[in-house]
Amino acid sequence: MSKQRIGVLTGGGDCPGLNAVIRGIVKSAANRFGYEVIGIFDGYRGMLEGNFTILTSDKVSGILTQGGTILGTDNKTNPFGVVEHVNGERQVVDKSDACVDFYNDLGLDALIAIGGDGTLTIAGKLAEKGLNVVGVPKTIDNDLMETDITFGFDSARTTATEAIDKLHTTAQSHHRVMLVEVMGRNAGWLALESGIAGGGDIILLPEFPYHIDEVVAAIRKRHRFGKKFSIVVVSEGTYPEGGHQVYRKIVEEDTSAPARLGGVSNVVADQIEEKLGIETRVTILGHLQRGGTPTPFDRLLATQFAIRAVELVDERKFNHMVALQGNKMVPVPIEKVMGKQRNVPKDHYLLKVALSVGTSLGVPMEKVVNEQVGT
């Protein structure tokens, strides 16, 4: 029998731990099962362009601690909706058959897709066209359904927490209000957990549209009791009650995410200065949260995801994503993940934790308490 062959790609935004997954897949495929691994460059764009390499244990040696991905990634290419210009007109073309041809031409027995909701949704659609797919959950936003946590989140949470720690000293020294804007899109996990860990005084989440009067009241109360500085942790996707999210840029050519969030902290800062007259500064962490070496937690998690993904290939349990549920690595049907997003539940215990230590969520406390008890 010929050696079985697994394809692997990394899609969406980069994050710490991607190389750890690639390494785990290659080493376990070779050491336990004798499979050959084909690395596909630049996500689904590599499948359309036929850009790949054979990955061996030697090629992945030493990459466990490296950030980024040796395969490159792409967060724009959707094979089911490729933007083309024909005779000066913009058209969206389905080129997914080219991915199927690539898969068959290389004689792949399975494709392991490492990515977030966009990457795994595309993987699920390719499964519907006959490809044997296994998904590995990756995102710093921690917003994928069916898994307790995604790799990359802990590293981003650590980066955000360290930034909040550092801003405390300058905020205290200059008696300023410091706003720290973190990523997360429409899910507030990163802001909530780094905000609690970093001792943020106010945390603004997409799940609870903020009231500027509540933000101002929290800062004024701190001043009244001698705390002449405040730290506000802002999720990029938050917005005011009755208002809209703030977009840094709209890119019509980008079919995956044409509206790019960012800058809401500047809006909040201007409102605080106007109402309180306190010097206010903004730090937007941006892509710092995606970079650097993965934390030990993410290295362990990524490696476990990788091993279980190869086991699913060997078990021929395709069209599933590996998920961490409790302390177990379990397969979940990929359709349960496709097109869905895991937000912070309004009865989540961490919200109670934040309120218990005196952190404001920028909304009337009774609103959060009522959500907690389900009224």
Mark whether 132 and 162 lie in a shared domain. Answer: no
The mean pLDDT value of the chain amounts to 93
C-beta separation of 341 from 147 below 8 A: no
Q: Is residue 286 within 8 Å of residue 13, measured between CB atoms? A: no
- Mark whether 273 and 165 lie in a shared domain: yes
Structure confidence at residue 372 as a pLDDT band (50, 70, 90): low
Mean pLDDT computed over 245-254: 73
Query: Sorting pLDDT into bands at 50, 70 and 90, what band is 371?
Result: low
3-state DSSP helix/strand/coil percent for the chain, to nearest 5?
A: 40, 20, 40
Distances in whole angstroms, Cα of residue 162 to Cα of each of 104, 182, 286: 46, 12, 14
pLDDT for the residue numbered 84: 86
Read off the pLDDT band of 14 (50, 70, 90): very high
Q: Does 215 lie in the same domain as 362?
A: yes
* Other residues' Cβ atoms within 10 Å of the Cβ of residue 343: 18
The values of phi and psi at residue 233, to 5°, are -100, 120
Question: In this predicted structure, what is the pLDDT of residue 75?
Answer: 87
Separation in Å, CA 105 to CA 5, 30, 77, 124, 126? 12, 22, 21, 20, 15
Contacts of 266 (CB under 8 A, 6+ apart): 282
Task: Give the tens place of pLDDT for each residue, 180-204.
Answer: 999 999 999 999 999 999 999 999 9
pLDDT, tens only, 331-369: 999 999 998 999 999 999 999 999 999 999 999 876 676
Q: Which domain holds residue 167?
A: 157-289+345-372
Same domain assignment for residues 298 and 257: no
* Residue-level pLDDT at 375: 40
Same domain, 252 and 329: no
Residue 254 is predicted with a pLDDT of: 58
Whether residues 91 and 220 fall in one domain: no
With contact defined as beta carbons under 8 Å apart, do 192 and 354 qualify?
A: yes
% of the chain residues with pLDDT over 90 = 87
Query: Does residue 1 carry a pLDDT above 50?
Result: no
311/84: higher pLDDT = 311
Residue 374 has pLDDT above 60, yes or no: no
**What is the per-residue pLDDT across 285-332, written as a single tens digit (0 to 9) for each?**
999 999 999 999 999 999 999 999 999 999 999 999 999 999 999 999
Q: What pLDDT score was predicted for residue 330? A: 97
Nearest to 99 by CA among 22, 36, 46, 38: 46
Tokens linked to 323: 């998920």
126 touches 97 (CB < 8 A): no
Count of Cβ atoms closer than 10 Å to residue 102 Cβ? 23
Q: What is the pLDDT of residues 137-179, one digit of tens each?
A: 999 999 999 999 999 999 999 999 999 999 999 999 999 999 9
CATH of the domain at 258: 3.40.50.460
From residue 218, how far is each of 211, 263, 354 by CA, in Å?
Answer: 11, 22, 14
According to the model, what pLDDT value does residue 83 have? 87
CATH of the domain at 144: 3.40.50.450
What pLDDT is recorded for position 249?
Answer: 73
Number of domains into which the chain is organized? 2
Q: What percent of the chain has pLDDT over 70?
A: 94
Check whether residue 58 and residue 90 sit in a common domain.
Answer: yes
pLDDT digits (tens, 9 = 90+) for 198-232: 999 999 999 999 999 999 999 999 999 999 999 99
User: Tokens 């966009």 label which residue?
Assistant: 118
234 and 177 co-located in one domain: yes
> Catalytic residues, which ones?
141
What mean pLDDT do residues 12-37 have? 96
Residue 262's pLDDT is 84
Check whether residue 213 and residue 88 sit in a common domain.
no
Residue 366's pLDDT is 67
136 and 171 inside one domain: no
3-state secondary structure of 60: helix
What is the pLDDT at residue 365?
75
Indicate if 205 and 116 belong to the same structural domain. Answer: no
Do 207 and 349 reside in the same domain of the chain? yes
Question: 3-class DSSP state for residue 321?
Answer: strand
Residue 255 confidence (pLDDT) above 60: no
